[in-house]
Structure 1
Amino acid sequence: MRKFLIAALLLAVGAISVLAQDQKNELAGTIGRTIISDQTTPDTSTPFNTVHFGHGTSFNVNYGRRLRSYRWGDLSVEVPVIFNPDEDLNYGTNQIPKEYSSYFITPAARVTFIPNLAISPWLSFGGGIGIFHASSELLYFGSNNGDRSKVTAAIQGGIGFDVRLPKIERLKFRFEARDDWSGGPPLNIDTGRSRQHNYYVGAGVVFRF
C-alpha cells in the first residue's frame, strides 16, 4: 500500500510538472456586478407593480484548458461559476422576498483571438444550470412561506479580453461581460416572464499553469 501511494504521488507530481510546462490550464477570478432588467407584472391593480433588481456584487471563478492552437487563435473549454450572494429586490407590496442569491455553472467553449498579442479578445458560448435561493423573509416584514429554491437551465454567452502583464508570464488581467439567460427566481408573483437575462460585468486576473 505504501509503495502504491508513493508511486501515485510521483505520478501526480510528474503530471503537474508537465501541465506547468505546457501552460494549457488557467484559473481565473473576477469580481463585478450582476445587472437584471426591471420586470413589470401584468397585475395593473397593484400600485408600483414593477420589480426592481439591485446590482448585486458578484464573483466569477473559472477553470479553463486550451485544446487546440491555430495561427489566428486558441480553442479552449472553460467552466465559469458566477455567484451572486445578495440580489436585493423592491416592489410595491409585501409579496416578494427581500433578496435572493444565485449560482450559474455553465461549461462552455471559448475562442481567444491572437493570444500572443498584448491584448487578446475572446468569445464564449455554453450552457448549464442556474440555482436560485430566496430569502426566508419577505420584502417589508414577515416570513417567506413560498418556494425558496429553484434550479433552471441556463444558456451562457460571453465576451471579454485578456491583457498580458509586463514581465509576468503566468498572469493576465481579464475584463469580461457574460449573459446567463435562465428561468426567473422564485418571487411568489407572476412577472409575465418565463426567462430573464442575468448580465455579469467584472474584472480580475488569470493564472496560467
Structure 2
Amino acid sequence: MNLTNDDVRVLLLPGWLDSGPGHWQTRWEERHGDTRVQQADWQWPRRGDWMARLDEVLLDDARPALLAAHSLGCHLVAAWAAHSQHTGRVRGALLVAPPDLGRADTPPQLRGWWPPVAAALPFPARVVWSDDDPFCAPPQAQWLAQAWGAPASAIGARGHINAESGLGEWPEGRAMLLALAPAPVADKP
C-alpha cells in the first residue's frame, strides 16, 4: 500500500539519545520525509515532557499519523496512549526493540520510566523484536507486546534493531508500518 503525505503522516519516535546516521529512522526521514519528534532533552528523558511533546506534534497537523517508535520511543507510545485525549489521531504504531526497563543495568537516566505502562493500545500496533537484543530478552518483548495488545514479530538476531543491525532503509519494517494504516474508504455511489 502506498500512502501519500495527504493521507497520513509518519511520526518517528526515537529512543534515548535519539537515532543517529545510518539508523532506519534517519533513513526514513531522509527518504520519505517522515517527521522526527524532536525532544528537548535526549540525555535525561522525562516521560511527561516526552508525552507532552508528542501531543504538540500531533496537534500541529490535521492529518492522521502512523507512529514509528524505536526503543524508549515504544514506552513513550504506551505511556502517551494511556493519558492523551488525542489517540484518535493515530492510525497505528510500529514498536521496534522495546527495552526492558526493569533490568538491573538500566541507566539511571531511564529510571523515571519505571514502571512501564502495560495497557492495551487504542489503535493497531505491532511489536518487532530481535532474538539477541542486548536491552531486552525475547520473553520480555513478548510480554510487552501482549500487554500492549499488539502482535509481535521476531526478525532474528539483529541486536537492538538500530544502525549497527545492518538493515539499511529496512523496507520490511516500512511495509509493517504501512500495513497498520486502514485502507482508504471508497466513495459511495
Point out the structure with max Rg over C-alpha: 1
Taking structure 1 as the reference length, the TM-score comes to 0.22
The structure carrying a bigger helix percent of its residues is 2
The structure carrying a bigger strand percent of its residues is 1
Taking structure 2 as the reference length, the TM-score comes to 0.24
